[in-house]
Amino acid sequence: MVGDILGVESIPTTSSRGQDVLHPTREQYLGAISAIKSADYVTCSDLCAVDYLSAQERRSLPEGIQPERFEIVVSLLSISKMHRVRLRVQVPESDPVIETLFYLYPGTENMEREAFDLFGIVFSNHPDMTRILMPPGWEGHPLRKDYGIGRVPVQFRDAPGPR
């Protein structure tokens, strides 16, 4: 199993679309990522969030992993091994906080800010946990499944007004 090879044998592992997928808890997250990085996975190619508010039944998790509303998905790449590993971490709605990967993979800074801005997941110890896409005064997190649908009037610069 890939977890044994990477030194994270206590973490449930599955396979999806030809990729090894590890399912650490939030408490195991940083240690697992650190161990995987030590195994020559030097690139974090993606970090994103998913809101499973209305789709709990449409995802598969290994036995022992409690499904939560939010999930952080991290894709790590070993160029020397030509291999990818994905991590899926469950984050509860009642405490949407997870540790930052910035100090292991500095390129994750903006990806984590995007997940914070659009889903409201806080990355603790992040150097700049501020909005990145929405204006600073924006209320709410637009990619949450329970975010209200509304209309925001847009006026483009130098565009003619309404006719």
For residues 55 and 162, the model is more confident at 55
Rounded to whole angstroms, how far apart are CA atoms 117 and 37? 27
Rounded to whole angstroms, how far apart are CA atoms 84 and 78? 6
What pTM does this model have? 0.87
SS3 content of the chain, % helix, strand, coil (to 5): 20, 25, 55
- Tell me the CA end-to-end span of the chain in Å, nearest whole number: 65
Instruction: Report the pLDDT value the prediction gives residue 17, as an integer from 0 to 100.
Output: 87
Q: What is the CATH number of the domain that holds 40?
A: 3.30.460.80
Block residue for tokens 């996975």: 41
**Average per-residue pLDDT for the chain:** 90
**158 within a domain of the structure (yes/no):** no
Into how many domains does the chain fold?
Answer: 1
